[in-house]
Amino acid sequence: MRKILLMSLMLICGLTIAMAQHAGGKKGAEIKFDKTTHNFGKFSESSPKVTCVFTYTNTGDAPLIINQAVASCGCTVPEYTKAPVMPGQKGQLKVTYNGTGKFPGHFKKSITVRTNGVVEMTRLYVEGDMEEAKQ
């Protein structure tokens, strides 16, 4: 019983110290996107490439670095700045969807963004309706 009580007390003390250090310390980098979803709307199969830009701000107090941006499919390609984004500054992540060889209709793809920020992972979405080319 004493061991359980001692272990519980040590755990509570450790958590209290860790939380106090986190609250009093620096916040770190933090990414905030203007929007996390983009709808391309309707576009023709004859022009199957569409592009959008997601703008983000580093709302933290340390430089923000995007370590990785991975799309759920090879038809969606994210491009981003490799340079650190300083606190208060903005950056952009460009996403291109290429529907060449894909069936017309609705699509929804995700892009997973990993950073050095407090929230390490953010998911962005692009969607739209590719219509069959009229001949």
Residue 81 confidence (pLDDT): 86
Residue 43 confidence (pLDDT): 94
Residue 28 confidence (pLDDT): 93
**Dihedral sign (CA 17, 19, 20, 21):** positive
C-alpha to C-alpha distance for 96 and 25, rounded to whole angstroms: 39
Q: Which residues contact 45 (CB under 8 A, 6 or more apart)?
A: 99, 104, 130, 131, 132, 133
Residue 17 confidence (pLDDT): 64
Q: Which helix (H) or strand (E) holds 50?
A: strand 49-58
pTM for the structure as a whole: 0.78
Low-confidence ranges of the chain (pLDDT < 70): 5-11, 13-26, 135
Q: Which of 82, 88, 81, 71 is nearest to 30 (CA)?
A: 88
Residue 27 confidence (pLDDT): 83
Residue 134 confidence (pLDDT): 79
Q: Which helix (H) or strand (E) holds 84?
A: none
Residue 91 confidence (pLDDT): 96
Residue 19 confidence (pLDDT): 61
Q: Is 12 helix (H, G, I), strand (E, B) or coil?
A: helix
